[in-house]
Amino acid sequence: YLKGFGGHPGAAGFSIDPAHLSAFAQRIEEFVARFAPPRKRLVCDAVLAGSEVDEELLAEVNALEPLGQGNAEPLWLMANRPISQVRAIGEAGRHLALVVDGIRAVQWGGGHLAESLSSGGRFDLAATLKPNEWNGQRSIELGIKAIRPAGPISVPDAASGPAVERLGAGEGLMRLRQQPMPIQVGTPEGAELIGAKLPGCPLRSAGEVVKELALLALPDDLEALLQANTRLLFMLPPRALEHLEHQARRWPDLDNLRSAYRELRAGRPVDELAGKILAELGIDGHVAGPVDPYQSPTLRRALLERYRLLIFGWFYRHADLDGLRVAVQRLWGSSE
């Protein structure tokens, strides 16, 4: 059918005799009908919370310029977020505007979604960051590329990970009654509760190597368990996840370090870990010149531990099972 064709990775074209156009279109339609409709998939670069959106982050994105073909602007994932102030805007209501985490978000051509989104609920958004200037006021807004009802987040091209399962509390208790296994708990109260409800399941001793383990709390030696190929059944209650996030924020980050420096200069006591970092950097209340905070081994460890616990908590709440496996492997598994 074709008289000629050609192109390059960004475009393609062909020429055809008009007399063959109808037959060619029919053959194309027959070919396409053999396949299921394609599912649109967006791959986001990083997870974003509204509290992280500021001019500093936008400046870091701008530092990646020039953005475009081969260097796309970062696509951010905001998962399981409530939205408000949903409305259609622009000529004939062609576009969509809403607020998420206190930030205005716009989707060009998305006005038809306004009615369905106005009923409320929680949503996953894929978006870019954009500066917005209006009447002399500057703000940062989100450019929505896709929005959907909140659901499990998939990890693209997830490789096989460790033997990991995730069950809710009710399902987990039923499983353990039918298939007893050692249990990891985080508190003496948890140990008493398990002893009463699951007398057939022994509590794991510190450092004990087991073939399978039910987790009501995150063990300190998770790396060793993965190296031993222990099969892990995660059944973390909400309280355990909240405890993990509390633990994560006990590790200081750069903002905590700045606050500690101000407290030190004012002659007030500072957090023990932050004080140790300042001491490693040779800061005793006054900074004579630029200091690279990453020279502190304690800060490097603190940032790693903080990141590891917060990211694990996010994946546990929002990712599908393959995504959780990938997170566990990459955060605690072997780097080989």
What tokens appear for 314 in the block?
A: 């996010």
Average pLDDT over residues 242-270: 93
Average pLDDT over residues 265-289: 89
The DSSP call for residue 112 is G
Cα radius of gyration (the chain): 26
Contact, 177 vs 235, CB < 8 A?
no
**Domain co-membership, 25 together with 89:** no
User: For residue 79, is pLDDT > 80?
Assistant: yes
Q: What's the pLDDT at 156?
A: 76
What percent of the chain clears pLDDT 90, i.e. is strictly above it? 72
pTM of the model: 0.79
Question: Hey, what amino acid is at 268?
Answer: R
Average pLDDT over residues 323-331: 91
Domain boundary (149, 180, 195) is at 149
User: For residue 160, is pLDDT > 80?
Assistant: no
What tokens appear for 19 in the block?
A: 């007399």
pLDDT tens digits, 12-61: 898 999 999 999 999 999 999 999 888 788 899 999 989 899 999 999 99
Q: What's the pLDDT at 3?
A: 87
Longest dimension (CA), the chain: 88
Q: How many domains does the chain have?
A: 3
Q: What's the pLDDT at 153?
A: 92
CA distance 309 to 314: 9
**Domain co-membership, 216 together with 241:** yes
What CA–CA distances, in Å, run from 122 to 39, 100, 117, 238? 22, 10, 10, 18
Q: What's the pLDDT at 157?
A: 67
Whether residue 69 is contained in a domain is answered as yes
Question: Hey, what amino acid is at 327?
Answer: A
Average pLDDT over residues 298-323: 94
Cβ neighbours around 219 below 10 Å, total:
19
Whether residue 334 is contained in a domain is answered as yes
Q: What's the pLDDT at 259?
A: 94
What CA–CA distances, in Å, run from 6 to 13, 15, 131? 6, 9, 39
Q: What's the pLDDT at 313?
A: 95
Average pLDDT, the chain: 91
Dihedral pair phi/psi, residue 44, rounded to 5°: -85, 155
Whether residue 237 is contained in a domain is answered as yes
Domain that holds residue 14: 2-32
User: For residue 314, is pLDDT > 90?
Assistant: yes
**Domain co-membership, 300 together with 177:** yes
**Domain co-membership, 263 together with 196:** yes
Whether residue 41 is contained in a domain is answered as no
Whether residue 38 is contained in a domain is answered as no
Q: What's the pLDDT at 27?
A: 93
CA distance 100 to 50: 8
pLDDT tens digits, 198-225: 888 999 998 899 999 999 999 999 999 9
Q: What's the pLDDT at 158?
A: 64
User: For residue 334, is pLDDT > 80?
Assistant: no
Which of the pair, 274 or 119, is modelled with greater confidence? Answer: 274
User: For residue 187, is pLDDT > 90?
Assistant: no
